[in-house]
């Protein structure tokens, strides 16, 4: 009798375990195609690129050099460590300041003082490490990184801001709404090479170009645009006292930034429109009954409920700008003197023009790590401020 009871109890347990295993196998079977594709076209290329970066690879695989390609690109490791330490201090200062704002005790003041000290220290430490990297590393590659940052900071905030305004206007009941939606989205689906060539014509240094005619009509002098290597702030505003990183992008890179904004504003507008459509209309009605103005509706309802969409677009846009290549490669000219050679363009030249495959892949891995770190920082800094309702 006892043996019969034990077997009766054990049999359902075995069935439950088999059902669990079956469910897991079914789940793995469903995700296998996606994992396989990502592994073949995503993980494997990254791994093979890292493998190539460890060799002196010029057309054919050469001798193993280890991290020599990374040392060639970044310079002395002590400079890299000092620079990373400065950036880490900057991030830690933000975390302390954010914690201080949330604190309602006397600890908040101490956190603010600590954040201020870290911030001041970061502005002293990071430049020292960066200068050491410039003296011992590949200057051209290292300079391409701030150029990439210029392009990202000049493009992303402007295109998101303009897209939000356009989406808010197009979301209203206006005539020709569908036409304007199509018109703003058209630059995104137009071939990049073709539109880049058109922009080269519009921003030609000739006085008869469309951009120079516009400046002349405003009483300004014609500009060289894509052919100008001087900083934009110096050319347009006469700020000659700004030097180094603070001088900003060149006039040529600022012109390419305009192209980037023009291309992606329409795409962001369409995504914002989808986000606006998902906001319940009852919230606006309740706020209007309470006497909220149009600005209050936008500030306290639209912006918070659009924060997930804004966060997504900002994240994708920053990743995209750090990988931007096609239009920059088409629009760059020798007269710009390398002031538009962002990291992706410089890596392509190292690979294609100089046939330094191992060194180019090392630079690509460095750019990949930078994008990964920036993505993690964005998730930490802005992800916590997203309102999901």
Cα dist. 317→47, 346, 365, 375 in Å?
Answer: 25, 20, 20, 11
In 3-state terms the chain splits into helix, strand, coil percentages (rounded to 5) of: 80, 0, 20
Residue 368 within any structural domain of the chain? yes
**Contact status, residue 387 vs residue 307, Cβ threshold 8 Å:** yes
Secondary structure letter of residue 354 according to DSSP: S
Asked if residue 378 and residue 239 are part of one domain, the reply reads yes
pLDDT tens, position by position, 346-374 = 999 999 988 899 999 999 999 999 999 99
| Same domain (yes/no): 186, 290 | yes
Per-residue pLDDT reduced to its tens digit, 260-292: 999 999 999 999 998 998 888 888 889 888 888
At 55, give phi and psi (nearest 5°).
-125, 155
Q: Work out the average pLDDT over 312-338.
A: 91
Q: Using one digit for the tens of pLDDT, what is the confidence trace for 160-214?
A: 999 999 998 888 877 877 888 888 888 999 899 999 999 999 999 998 899 999 9
pLDDT averaged over every residue in the chain: 88
Q: Report if residue 211 sits inside a domain.
A: yes
pLDDT, residue 4, reads 52
User: How big is the chain, counted in residues?
Assistant: 389
Q: pLDDT value at position 245?
A: 83
Q: In the numeric block, which tokens belong to residue 187?
A: 């630059």
Q: Are 20 and 152 in the same domain?
A: no
73 within 8 A of 141, measured Cβ to Cβ: yes
Q: Which two tokens stand for residue 258?
A: 């305009």
Q: Is residue 69 part of a domain?
A: no
- Is 333 domain-assigned? yes
241-258: average pLDDT: 89
- Count: domains in the chain: 3
pTM for this predicted structure = 0.89
In 49-208 the beta strands, taken as DSSP E runs, fall at: none
Is residue 268 located within the same domain as residue 129?
no
* Mean pLDDT for the stretch of residues 297-315: 90
173 and 205 part of one domain: yes
pLDDT for 13 equals 66
pLDDT of residue 382: 85
Is the distance from CB of 332 to CB of 340 less than 8 angstroms? yes
Q: What is the DSSP letter of 104?
A: -
Domain that holds residue 12: 1-53
Tell me what the mean pLDDT of segment 333-343 comes to.
91
Dihedral sign for Cα atoms in the order 17, 23, 29, 32: negative
Residue 265 and residue 184 share a domain = yes
pLDDT reading at 385 higher than 70: yes
> Do 205 and 349 fall into the same domain?
yes
> Is 63 a domain residue?
no
Decide if pLDDT at 9 tops 80: no
Residue 1 has pLDDT above 50, yes or no: no
Beta pairing partners, 231? 250
**pLDDT given for residue 14 in this prediction:** 66
CA-based R_g, the chain, Å: 27
Question: Looking at the domain assignment, is residue 294 inside a domain?
Answer: yes
Mean pLDDT calculated for residue range 14-38 = 84
Measured CA to CA, the distance from residue 100 to residue 103 in angstroms comes to 5
Question: Is there a single domain that holds both residue 181 and residue 228?
Answer: yes
Q: Are residues 127 and 145 in the same domain?
A: no
Q: Is residue 68 part of a domain?
A: no
pLDDT at 241: 84
Q: How confident is the model at residue 7 (pLDDT cuts 50, 70, 90)?
A: low
Largest pairwise CA distance in the chain: 105
Residue 226 near residue 212 (C-beta atoms within 8 A): no
Does residue 150 carry a pLDDT above 70? yes
Say yes or no to pLDDT of 16 above 70. Answer: no
* Residue 66 resides in a domain: no
The CATH number of the domain holding residue 380 is 1.10.3720.10
Contact 296, 134 (CB under 8 A): no
247 and 118 share one domain: no
Same domain, 46 and 103: no
Handedness of CA 355, 359, 365, 366 (dihedral sign): negative
Residues 121 and 146 in one domain: no
């Amino acid at each position: 009798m006892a043996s019969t009871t034990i077997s009766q109890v054990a049999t359902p347990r075995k069935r439950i375990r088999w059902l669990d295993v079956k469910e897991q196998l079914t789940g793995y079977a469903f995700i296998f195609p996606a994992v396989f594709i990502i592994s073949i076209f995503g993980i494997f290329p990254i791994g093979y690129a890292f493998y190539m970066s460890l060799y002196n690879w010029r057309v054919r695989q050469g001798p193993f050099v280890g991290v020599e390609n990374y040392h060639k690109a970044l310079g002395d490791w002590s400079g890299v460590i000092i620079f990373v330490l400065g950036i880490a201090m900057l991030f830690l200062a933000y975390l302390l300041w954010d914690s201080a704002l949330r604190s309602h005790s006397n600890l908040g003041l101490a956190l603010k003082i600590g954040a201020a000290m870290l911030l001041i220290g970061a502005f002293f430490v990071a430049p020292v490490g960066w200068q050491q990297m410039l003296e011992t590393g590949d200057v051209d590659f290292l300079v391409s990184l701030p150029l990439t940052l210029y392009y990202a900071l000049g493009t992303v905030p402007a295109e998101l801001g303009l897209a939000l305004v356009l989406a808010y206007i197009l979301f209203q009941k206006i005539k020709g709404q569908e036409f304007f939606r199509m018109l703003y989205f058209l630059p995104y689906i137009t071939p990049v090479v073709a539109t880049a060539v058109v922009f080269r014509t519009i921003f030609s240094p000739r006085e008869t170009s469309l951009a120079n005619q516009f400046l002349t009509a405003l009483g300004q002098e014609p500009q060289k645009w894509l052919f100008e290597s001087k900083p934009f702030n110096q050319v347009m505003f006469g700020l000659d006292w700004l030097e180094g990183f603070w001088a900003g992008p060149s006039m040529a890179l600022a012109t390419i930034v305009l192209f980037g904004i023009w291309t992606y504003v329409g795409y962001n507008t369409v995504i914002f429109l989808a986000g606006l459509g998902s906001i319940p209309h009852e919230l606006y009605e309740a706020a209007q009954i309470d006497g909220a103005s149009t600005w209050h509706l936008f500030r306290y309802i639209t912006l918070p409920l659009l924060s997930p969409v804004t966060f997504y677009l900002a994240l994708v846009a920053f990743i995209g700008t750090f990988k931007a290549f096609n239009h920059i490669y088409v629009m760059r000219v020798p007269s710009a003197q390398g002031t538009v050679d962002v990291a992706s363009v410089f890596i392509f030249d190292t690979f294609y023009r100089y046939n330094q495959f191992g060194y180019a892949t090392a630079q690509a891995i460095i750019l990949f790590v930078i994008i990964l770190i920036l993505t993690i920082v964005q998730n930490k800094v802005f992800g916590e401020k997203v309102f999901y309702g």
